[in-house]
Amino acid sequence: MFINTFFDFFFVGTIVVIISLFTMMIQRIHLLMVLLCLEMIMLGLFFFSCSFFGYCGGSCYISFVLLSFSACEASVGLSLLVALIRSHGKDFISLFCGYSC
């Protein structure tokens, strides 16, 4: 029973990461979509690390450190998105190309 749970979480984490990477490659124009894909990648890595450390007999505390770093990354990304929209009015990543101070 436990081994099936391990492979289920491992499979779900792997599928979430692959779909998020594919979506990020397709929807890389908007910064908000890239940030959402990064959050989904971190969620998939969280599933993967929970299943891996749970299967190896270790604790899942490292997974919670990963989850807290993910929350910090999300807050920094959201603040950068708000600053970009306030200054330029759009969230296109193409605004960064050729932009000089």
DSSP class per residue in 60-83 = SHHHHHHHHHHHHHHHHHHHHHHH
The predicted structure's pLDDT at residue 93? 67
Buried b or exposed e, range 21-57, using 16+ CB within 10 angstroms: eebbeeeeeebebbbbbbbbbbbbbbbbbbbbebeee
Predicted local confidence at residue 22, as pLDDT: 92
What are the angstrom distances between the C-alpha of 45 and each of 12, 16, 30, 61, 86? Answer: 10, 9, 23, 14, 32
**pLDDT number for residue 101:** 47
Q: Which domains does the chain have, with CATH numbers?
A: 2-95 (1.10.287.3510)
Tell me the whole-structure pTM to 2 decimals: 0.77
Block mean pLDDT (10 aa), the chain, length 101: 65 88 86 87 86 71 84 89 82 61 47
- How far apart are alpha carbons 21 and 4 in whole angstroms? 26
